[in-house]
Amino acid sequence: MQRFHITLLLQTLRLAGLLMCLVLCIACGEGRPFPDAATCLREGDSLLRGDSVVQGETLMRQAIRMAEKEGDWHTLYIAHQRLAQSVAWANAAEALRLMKRALAIYEQHPDDERNHIILLDFAGTYAAQLAYNTDGSYDEALALTKRAQRLAEEGRHTDLVCQTLTSLANIYWAMNDYAATLRCAHRAEALAPPDLLQGTLQVLARCYLSCDSLAEAEAVYRRMKPEGDLHAAYVIQSNLAKIAVRRLLPAEAKDTVDAAFEQAEQLYFKALAEKDDYYQQTLQQERQNERLAYSEALHRRTLVAILAVILVVATATFLLLRYRMRMLHQRRIHQERLHQQETRILQQETQLLQQEAETQRTQLHQKTEVISFLKNLIIQRSEVFRKLNKSLDAHVELTPQEWNDMERTLNAVENDRFAHLRTRYPNLREEDVRLCILVSLQLSNRAIGNIYGLTISAVQHRKQKLKKDGLGEPDPDISLEQVLDRLGS
């Protein structure tokens, strides 16, 4: 019967454990976490390409934290680069900081020279954007971009040479150095592959337009093919219209026309910004709804888990208590039979132990009295002790040999107390050890003063100083005699 209950209890507990694990997994289960920083980076980059800016930037920052913990330097600097590209439109200073951090990480852990060139080019672009927004210096932007161009030429990366030359042309245009802009733009045009040609042509046309070379600017704009890029198509058509108006109107209307087109551009970009703000607000609302739905589902699952755990614990507790009650009932019957026998045996053993303890106490007391008597007898028969007790009011002088004899006698009867004292406190002076010897002999302060030629108060002061400075006992309530007694025990 007992075996059956044990087996039933074990099976119930095993089933309860499995059910508890299953319910907890269902209740607390969340979306699949990212296994590593590289996966988080890919997911965040995908969201950024799909215009999910908030989610993408959040995942990029998470990828940075995970890569720092994992020591994945490649993912770390790529994540910094992608995040810088995302925030560049709204915050050029933050973009430049992130790109410099990406450069520092890459230079500590280099892997692909092309990535180095791309990082330098991006950093130069953001530095130029920051200088343009703040009317600052373009020196840092030129230094970074020229370094990128030099590395691209050394590595014979034609596409990167074209890209860096285009970036230099943009910087020179912002600096109003149109000659340098045309020089870099023409070099980039000669090297540009099809995917980079449109950007190079746009810089070249803009420079011609700034120099009032309307025919050259029109020719370049007509060569450009936006191919579905609405922003590029707007730029081309608006600048072609601006060129046509400039040709028709007299020279004095140029500023008015330019102001009109600038106002149109501002309205266009404002519309884009409002569209982006609306999209971000909608996205945030969707994210908030998702969080609320997730929290509600999590609360339901948690409630189910708690109820399941309570049910399992109650069932297991009931079975365990039932089993324990039956076992206790069987044990009680057996224990009642043995209780009387054990009681008699315990009483007999207690009496014997009490008798033995009383005998041992008596013997120990007798031995202690004998030892104490022998110690006192040895000390009192010592020549030095008799010399000290002859006259407590007269000056007493002890030779070094007498001091040594007295110390050996005390060591013999008190378990080498002063040998231990010298070992434990090697810095004690000889006169301090001798004062400890006199205190151990339980001489009065007057007798000790007769030996040293001191007053009673001076002896007390000397004992306190020895206790505090020599033996390291700062407590004023503990006497020198107590310190020496502890040392002897």
Give me the percent of the chain exceeding a pLDDT of 90: 3
pLDDT, tens digit (0-9, with 9 covering 90-100), for 269-321: 665 666 566 556 665 666 666 667 767 777 788 888 888 888 887 787 877 77
Identify the three-state secondary structure at position 129: helix
- Residue 224, sorted as left (phi over 0), alpha (psi -120 to 50) or beta, turns out to be beta
Closest CA to 34 of 26, 23, 45, 25: 45
pLDDT band at 97 (very low <50, low <70, confident <90, very high): very high
pLDDT band at 234 (very low <50, low <70, confident <90, very high): confident
Give the other-Cβ count within 10 Å of 45's Cβ.
Answer: 19
- What's the pLDDT at 29? 44
Alpha-helix runs per DSSP H in 88-177: 92-108, 113-134, 139-154, 158-174
- What's the pLDDT at 463? 86
- Distance, in Å, from the CA atom of 51 to the CA atom of 276, rounded to the nearest integer, reads 9
- Distance, in Å, from the CA atom of 451 to the CA atom of 402, rounded to the nearest integer, reads 13
- What's the pLDDT at 260? 53
Do residues 87 and 57 make contact, with C-beta atoms less than 8 angstroms apart?
yes
The token pair at 272 is 């884009």
pLDDT at 382 over 80: no
CA distances to 22, 23, 31, 196 from 300, in Å: 15, 12, 16, 54
pLDDT at 334 over 70: yes
- Distance, in Å, from the CA atom of 189 to the CA atom of 198, rounded to the nearest integer, reads 9
- What's the pLDDT at 380? 52
pLDDT at 4 over 50: no
CA 477 to chain centre: 49
The token pair at 226 is 């936006």
- Distance, in Å, from the CA atom of 70 to the CA atom of 34, rounded to the nearest integer, reads 13
- What's the pLDDT at 326? 81
On the 0-12 / 13-18 / 19+ scale of CB atoms within 10 A, 464 is middle
pLDDT, tens digit (0-9, with 9 covering 90-100), for 80-91: 989 888 888 888
- Distance, in Å, from the CA atom of 187 to the CA atom of 218, rounded to the nearest integer, reads 20
State the pTM of this model. 0.49
Do residues 468 and 478 make contact, with C-beta atoms less than 8 angstroms apart?
no
